Amino acid sequence: MNEPLLHLIHDPADLRRLRPEQLAELADELRSFILDVVSANPGHLGASLGVVELTIALHYLFNTPDDVLVWDVGHQAYAHKILTGRRARFNSLRKWNGISGFPVRSESEYDVFGTGHASTGLSAVLGMAVASALQHNTSRQHIAVVGDGAITGGMFFEALNQAGDADVNLLIILNDNGISIDKSAGALKDYLAKQRLGQSATNPLFDAFGIPCFGPVDGNNLNVLLPALRNIKNHKGVRLLHLVTTKGKGFDRAEKEQVLFHAPGTFDRQTGQLPAAKNSENRTPLYQEVFGETLVELARLFPQIVGITPAMPTGSSLNLLMEAFPDRAFDVDIAEQHALTFAAGLAAKGIKPFCVVYSTFLQRAYDQLIHDIALQNLPVVLCVDRAGLVGEDGATHHGAFDLAFLRCVPNLTIAAPMNEPELRNLMYSAASDNSGPCVIRYPRGKAATGDDSGQFVAIAKGKGRKLRSGKKVAVISLGHPGNFVAEALNTLEKQDVFTAHYDLRFLKPLDENLLLEAFSQYKHIITVEDGVIQGGMGSAILEWAAGHHFTNKVVRLGIPDQFVAHGAPQQLYQHCGFDSPAIANAVVAAHKRINNQPDSDETTI
């Protein structure tokens, strides 16, 4: 038996000491190590298994980190992390204070650019290549590994347009595994499928940009991959190597069930078996499932309803509408800007689009939201999934900013449900309202349950609700964190601390009657939200209070002015200071302050 190799590799310099014939053995060890860790500590599995050989070959042949290597998207970079000095910490992947699931510049000099969002890699590498040219460094290599899913984003083609006319040393590696997170959609998938069948050195799509193309080459076979990379390394200028890889390579079930094993959660290391699902009757549904099931119900009631998602049908549960009404559901691939303007066009002609997009990815379509939807007051329903802190995916994926960047846009209605029936009823209300665009935002994970007759009930626009009365102190919450408030206040009531609780429901328009009651009856107001404090719901309430000449003490709880790292959601709520214990502490402090200084009415910003 050969001596294990992986434990000898502390950085790519160690890797380059191996003989070429040892690399296949190293690939087996590396793939096994990834499986050992990710089966018990969930992460993105399939993409990283598919690029093990490519990762080894790139670090073996190129002088990283001086030679620039960027992964697009970054969830395929697990092998890269292991080979670049993070093997000993790999079991901390995506944990609080552990290493990130994506490349992070502050984590390693080998992570030359952060790539949590797709289609950015070529722009970044082109910028670095131009920087090298300006610095008269003509020997440095600049490599962008771009997945076939990432090239569906328009930003890739914007960069490609400039790259084709640039005099720089840049290698584009098209990692073509025939699938994004879900099955690929659109015409590009068909084009690449035809290219995979041929052995021609021409590639009309990229040839049109003046970029020489090589391949396709089997990216999981080191015997052909290494010579192909050596050959293209010797070329100068901008060039492209088309590699064909298998997502989930080397683990049978991951190869056969590629959508499921993109990020499968925990699973049996040997068989791939996932934990048994809980009985559906006793299981708390995810907000995403509530969205998907409700949209199917609404589609039966309203024939003008369609659904749109940019490449997240399974994650968002739009796949349920695709199964029930395949002609009324659209996956537009990784194209958030197009998704929103496509929805605007549909709405302009009497169709009722429900466009579901993750909060972090909605950031990419801000102009389309303003210019194409809000400015024209088109009745598009934006269902903003993964709002708030998403947990282990970390800073690149938290939905921290949507409340702040949405509330300044005219014509928008912005709502956030506290529980399952509220989400259903907000969607129903939006379906029958054609007065303008509506945003409904909700978090990742389990929905809180509530009184639900199963019948839809319309919710008046801009109307919140009072959940309990109290003495001197009131808490105003928006969305799911209202459940944290309820838990805190239930605990405090057992200690004879009675506090009012209002569920604002709508950030825009504000329920001014609700706010007037709260500020008139309670000296101290605490706001709780799962968005950034700066510019968010608490700021909106402070602005309202100032405009109405209230001087109540107001304390805002939410996400502080920082990029929050990865970790379990409960750890992140605690870190940010709006979990149930933190809310309870803020309430107790407010009561103590009032009791000690009964006549003080200053407002805290």
Q: Which helix (H) or strand (E) holds 559?
A: strand 553-559
pLDDT at 453 over 90: no
Q: What string of DSSP letters covers 37-96?
A: HHHHS----HHHHHTHHHHHHHHHHS-TTTSEEEEESGGG-HHHHIIIIISTTGGGTTST
Helix (H) or strand (E) holding 278: none
Q: Is residue 19 part of a domain?
A: no
User: What's the pLDDT at 596?
Assistant: 85
In a domain, 275, yes or no: no
The pLDDT value recorded for residue 602 is 36
CA-CA distance, 562 to 533, in Å (whole number)? Answer: 10
Element (H, E) at 239: strand 238-244
List Cβ neighbours of 172 (8 Å cut-off, separation of 6 or more).
Answer: 122, 144, 146, 163, 211, 238, 239, 240, 241
Nearest 10 degrees: Cα torsion 127, 130, 135, 140: 90
Helical spans, DSSP H, in 434-506: 482-493
197 and 156 in a single domain? The answer is yes
Shared domain check, 298 and 228: no
- Asked if the model's pLDDT at residue 348 lies above 80, the reply is yes
If one counts the domains in the chain, the total is 3
Check if the beta carbon of residue 540 is closer than 8 Å to that of residue 462. no
CA distance 301 to 477: 32
Assess whether 418 and 497 both reside in one domain.
no
- Residue 198 CB-density burial (10 A; 0-12 exposed, 13-18 middle, 19+ buried): exposed
**Cis previous bond, 421, omega within 30:** no
Q: Is 557 within the bounds of a domain? A: yes
Of 145, 174, 183, which Cα lies nearest the Cα of 64? 145
Token digits of residue 591: 């009561």
Residue 179 has a pLDDT of 84
Q: The domain that contains 87 carries what CATH number?
A: 3.40.50.970
HSE value, Cβ hemisphere, 13 Å, CA-based, for 201:
4
Co-location of 489 and 560 in the same domain: yes
Indicate the residue among 379, 407, 441 that finishes a domain.
441
Domain match, 197 and 83 both: yes
Nearest in space to 317 (alpha carbons), one of 341, 295, 337, 342: 295
Residues 112-153 have pLDDT tens digits of: 999 999 999 999 999 999 999 999 999 999 999 999 899 999
**Pair type for strands 524-532 and 553-559:** parallel
Q: What is the pTM of this model?
A: 0.95
Q: Return the pLDDT at 182.
A: 83
Q: Are 175 and 217 found together in one domain?
A: yes
Say whether pLDDT at 603 is over 50: no
In a domain, 501, yes or no: yes
pLDDT tier, 78 (very low <50, low <70, confident <90, very high otherwise): very high
Of 217, 233, 181, the residue nearest 73 (C-alpha): 181
Amino acid symbol at 333: D
Give the C-alpha separation, 211 to 170, whole Å: 10
Structure tokens at 84: 């670049």
Residue range of the domain that includes 551: 465-596
Average pLDDT, the chain: 95
In a domain, 129, yes or no: yes
Rounded to the nearest 5°, which phi and psi values hold at 339? -55, -45
433/476 same-domain check: no
What's the rounded mean pLDDT across residues 347-365?
A: 98
Q: Render pLDDT for 26-35 as a digit per residue (tens, 0 to 9).
A: 999 999 999 9
Of residues 203, 146, 151, the one with CA closest to residue 170:
146
> Which of 188, 247, 241, 192 has its CA nearest to residue 217?
241
**Candidate from 152-161, 285-294, 493-502, 591-600 with smallest mean pLDDT:** 591-600
Predicted confidence band of residue 454 (pLDDT cuts 50, 70, 90): confident
pLDDT at residue 452 tops 80: no
pLDDT at 580 over 70: yes
Question: Do 224 and 306 share a domain, yes or no?
Answer: no
Residue given tokens 């080459």 in the structure block:
217
Same-domain check for residues 496 and 577:
yes
Q: Domain check: are 291 and 223 in the same one?
A: no
Position 69, amino acid: L
CA-wise closest residue to 52 among 244, 181, 264, 220: 220
Decide the pairing of beta strands 465-468 and 473-477.
unpaired
Does residue 282 belong to any structural domain of this protein?
A: no
pLDDT at 605 over 70: no
Lowest mean pLDDT among 273-282, 286-295, 536-545, 593-602: 593-602
190 and 309 co-located in one domain: no
Tell me if 462 sits within 8 A of 414, measured CB to CB: no
Residue 472 has pLDDT above 50, yes or no: yes
Least confident of 201-215, 361-375, 517-531: 201-215
196, 137, 215, 194: which is closest to 169 by C-alpha? 137
pLDDT digits over 228-280, tens only? Answer: 999 999 999 999 999 999 999 999 999 999 999 999 999 999 999 999 876 66
State residue 180's pLDDT score.
80
Catalytic residues: 247, 336, 364
Strand order in the sheet with 213-218: 68-72, 142-147, 170-176, 238-244, 213-218
Question: Nearest CA to 174 among 141, 204, 117, 219?
Answer: 219
Give percent of the chain above pLDDT 90: 91
Last residue of a domain, one of 407, 441, 475: 441
Task: Check which CATH number belongs to the domain holding 486 and give it.
Answer: 3.40.50.920
The answer to whether position 449 is within a domain reads no
User: Looking at the structure, do residues 190 and 335 belong to the same domain, yes or no?
Assistant: no
The structure tokens listed for 299 are 């589609």
4 occurs within a structural domain: no
